[in-house]
Structure 1
Amino acid sequence: MIRQRTSIVIESASPTWLRRMLRGSHLMSAAILLAALIEGGDYLPYAAVISLMFMLAQAAISILLGAISEKRIANLEDLAMKVDEQRAQIEQLFGMTDMLQSALSREDAGEVLAATASRLLPDLRGALYIFNNSQDRLDLASMWPEDGISNPIKTLVPATCWALKRGKVQINDPHSQSQLCCKHNGGRNATIEVPMIARGKVHGLLMLASDDQDGAKRLREIARIAQALADSMSLALANISLQEKLRTQSLRDPLTGLYNRRYMEDALERHLQIAERNGSATSVIMIDLDHFKKINDSHGHGKGDAVLRDVAAQLTASVRPTDIVSRYGGEEMMVIMPGCGLDQALKKAELLRSRIESLSELHGTPVTASFGVACVPETSSTMRDLVPMADAALYVAKEAGRNCVKAASRRHPSSPPTNTPRLAVSKK
């Protein structure tokens, strides 16, 4: 109790007035002693008593000033320590921003975030959630520490998260009855959730959790650090998303989502080189939609675009993951099938033909395609004659009445390579 009162006195006392009182007491004490010495007689004992009282007051004031000085020194030391901590935090945040500029994927960015957050906030557990491709949920992308104890939920739905609905920082305190708590929290731990917003779009969510009973207080203290982590991470995710979009646009056709011709040519050359080393076969299927101009003229280009998208979907759903489906140009498409012989490619082409023909009922108009198949080494020897031979077989299919599959003629094993396509033969 006495210490508490003393502390209150120290905090409320003004050092300026205390110093003035100390100087005044010195002057008064000296003046009283000087007057007593001059007058002499009975004044000396009274002067001595009064001077002693002033000396006691001076001692009390000196002690009070010393306590104030010590408290101020302690406050300055604490302030200097906090400044050093903030400087270290700022340096680590700058280092994190620099590292994120080199991140090529969301996995790289998640590792940088986990490492920085572990150094800045070693007493807290963390998790990074990123929107999936359909933008209807957030998946757990990274968590720390990897101690086998942390068990964050694997997916989040935006409708259950106040931070995502409000676009602001949300502190969930399951031990408080007066505060809103996200439904996904489950009442387990206090958490702070920061939405990652950049360029007007929410890219993900940063979640930090405390295992302490009074963890919400700790989370309020580090709210600014959490916001700084989320801001740096959101910009990195936005840049990675933009890079992926540009990469996709450079490799894929925007209408059908298939690979474009430039990627197809590079991939075909690469697979043929691998096939030559391994002695394996590589087949190519050329596809051309029948009477596609008639569909555009009769039903409009919107219907034509819808037919192209559905045909592309049927092709990608019917081939192997290692096969490459590309838009060769206009209504022409190509399928590269590594490790596939001519007979297998013909069976696959027949399946694709029936799948495309099944789209006729859906679109209310005949949708068919003609197919030409060629293979290295069965019909062709190099890339230079593989595609032309598949194209020649495609024209044979067109002349045969369309909506059928034709293969290039098989070459004789001893025949030398030729740069001119041979005639295609019908394949029943």
Structure 2
Amino acid sequence: MDEKSKEQQLMEQVQSLRHEVEQLKSLEGKYRNIFLNAVEGIFQSTPSGRFLVANPALARILGYASPEELIAERTDIEKQHYVEPQRRREFQQSLDENSIIREFEYQVYRKDGTRIWVSETCRAVRDASGAVLYYEGTIQDITHRRSTEEALQEANEQLASWVNELQQRTREMTLLSEMGDLLQACLTLPEAYVAIGQIARQLFAPESGTLSVTKTAQNLVEVVAAWGPALGGEPVFTHEGCWALRRGRVHHIEDSSDGLLCKHLYKPPPAAYICVPMMAQGEALGILHLGYQEVGRLTESKQRFAVAVAEHVALALSNLKLHETLRSQSIRDPLTGLFNRRFMEESLVREVLRAARNQGPLGVIMIDLDGFKSFNDTFGHDAGDTLLREFGFLLRNTIRAEDIACRYGGEEFTLILPEATLEATLERAEQIREEIKRLKVLHRDQDLGQVTVSLGVAVFPNHGTTGEALLRAADTALYRAKIDGRDRVAVKT
């Protein structure tokens, strides 16, 4: 190749190199513009924790006036940059294992000390031997996104809480309705106490509780139902032993280590508890007591629910007490407190059928106060009423729980003795005859003297297989006792 050709070739190579340099400068300018104008933070940093390069966006994200200020002041990334330094160590461990990490989220401090959330994508740049030269990557401010996500999570949690609360309220209302239906079907207060204990076990699980009712005549309060793990407390206490009854309003203690405790609680008391007075028409019927084994479990919603349950129970017990009072008035003799004739006749039919079904005995005693007419003539009708009351009291305290004592009419009385044989019935009649002779009756401070009775005895099935037959047989025996001189027991022959 001649000299001219060589020169031509050299010129072309120089021209090509100039073109490549211009292209490189153009690309460098483009990349420089991207670096300077990017909305994401771009950086290079050392593994030891110093920024080597930072763009303006990163400076703005971290609250610095310029990249130079950022690089000069933030010299320890782990301590100055990370809110949680251990996250830096997790970051580096991941880079060591994978050489690249994407969207690593963590909190950082800005220059003014405020905290923001960032997402970092980074790679480790290594030399030919594999040693890390530096890290390079991008950082985005995701504080707004994280706040939105956290707000959404809180909203979802709140929604779930509301749904759970609604389900709980629905369950509680269903159980309250069931309790109301069950209490309406109860005929006696003891039946109601059992029903309340069963429903309360479901209403307040897993907490413990008691239902206590007042004893009107004695100013005492007695526990009549309990549920859950055993609660330490007095089974019977006075009104003064409970702050809820004293004040006539709810008394709750959220931490029993620091509070005004009721005296009806044993030591140590539950961690928290509530006593709700059951009020009806201004009368305190008792209290609903709930105990909690952990502080903080007695929430406002649980307090409101306890009050609602107490109101339902108070209304039901008040209605049942009224029902029992009206029923008692309809079946009891108001003077003696004994059952009346109508109730006696109904009971006798029932007991005869039961005795026939069980093939067992049934005793009937007819009783007449001797000389009651002359007694009235001598001492007056008020004294006669006093005698009848005292005799009624004696009968009620002499008979068994299953026996039925009735005022048949005037000065005549009837006793129905389930499962009593002839011998047992005669023995009971003699016992009553002796008891009445020892009865001391005072009227207006005047001793009314000794009282005697005549008694007629009949037994099923010996003397009759119907209630009417037994009454006739006992009445016949009573007439014979009168004829034979009174103050004696006679049996139908």
Same fold (TM over 0.5): yes
Pick from 190, 199, 224: which aligns with 1:112? 199
Give the 5 Å matches for 1:56-205.
Answer: 66=145, 69-70=148-149, 72-100=151-179, 101-103=181-183, 104=186, 105=191, 106-118=193-205, 122=206, 124-132=207-215, 134=217, 136-146=219-229, 150-172=231-253, 173-176=255-258, 179-185=259-265, 186-189=267-270, 190-205=272-287
For the 8 Å contact 2:363–2:458, the answer to whether it is kept is: yes
Worse-superposed segment, 325-334 or 184-193: 184-193
Q: Secondary structure at the match of 2:448?
A: coil
Distance 1:75 1:262 in 2: 69
> Which is greater in Rg?
2
Structure 2 residue 385 is the aligned partner of structure 1 residue 305: yes
Give the 5 Å matches for 1:219-368.
Answer: 219-221=298-300, 222-276=302-356, 280-296=360-376, 299=379, 301-363=381-443, 364-366=447-449, 367-368=451-452
Which residue in 1 is equivalent to 2:491? 407
| 1:216-243 Cα deviation digits (max 9, x unpaired) | x432533222212222222232233334
Distance 2:290 2:361 in 1: 53
Distance 1:66 1:375 in 2: 93
| 1:40-97 Cα deviation digits (max 9, x unpaired) | xxxxxxxx99xx89x959x99x967656645554554344334323322331232122
Structure 1 letter corresponding to 2:197 = G
For the 8 Å contact 2:231–2:291, the answer to whether it is kept is: no
Structure 2 letter corresponding to 1:169 = V
The CA RMSD measured in Å over matched residues stands at: 3.7
Q: Secondary structure at the match of 1:102?
A: helix
Distance 2:366 2:251 in 1: 55
Worse-superposed segment, 383-392 or 155-164: 383-392
Which residue in 2 is equivalent to 1:388? 472
For the 8 Å contact 2:456–2:478, the answer to whether it is kept is: yes
Structure 1 residue 399: Cα displacement: 4.1
Structure 2 letter corresponding to 1:166 = R
Which residue in 1 is equivalent to 2:95? none
Worse-superposed segment, 192-201 or 71-80: 71-80
Consecutive unaligned residues of structure 1, counting only runs of 5 or more, are 1-47, 411-428
For the 8 Å contact 1:113–1:233, the answer to whether it is kept is: no
For the 8 Å contact 2:214–2:221, the answer to whether it is kept is: yes
Distance 2:378 2:149 in 1: 92
* 376 and 114 in structure 1: CA distance in 2 versus 1, 3 angstrom threshold: closer
* 87 and 294 in structure 1: CA distance in 2 versus 1, 3 angstrom threshold: farther
* 277 and 229 in structure 1: CA distance in 2 versus 1, 3 angstrom threshold: closer
Distance 2:374 2:316 in 1: 48
Structure 1 residue 354: Cα displacement: 2.2
Distance 2:245 2:441 in 1: 43
For the 8 Å contact 1:397–1:406, the answer to whether it is kept is: yes
Give the 5 Å matches for 1:198-213.
Answer: 198-212=280-294
Distance 2:463 2:310 in 1: 58
Structure 1 letter corresponding to 2:228 = P
Distance 1:378 1:209 in 2: 58
Distance 1:338 1:143 in 2: 33
Q: Secondary structure at the match of 1:183?
A: coil
Structure 1 residue 195: Cα displacement: 1.3
Structure 1 residue 333: Cα displacement: 0.7
Question: Relative to total residues, which structure has the larger helix share, 1 or 2?
Answer: 1
| 1:329-365 Cα deviation digits (max 9, x unpaired) | 2321101233434454333222212212222454511
Distance 1:56 1:254 in 2: 95
Structure 1 residue 276: Cα displacement: 4.1
| 1:12-60 Cα deviation digits (max 9, x unpaired) | xxxxxxxxxxxxxxxxxxxxxxxxxxxxxxxxxxxx99xx89x959x99
For the 8 Å contact 1:127–1:152, the answer to whether it is kept is: no
Distance 1:96 1:154 in 2: 27
TM-score (norm 2): 0.61
Structure 1 residue 391: Cα displacement: 1.6
Greater relative CO, 1 or 2 (CA 8 Å, sep 6+): 1
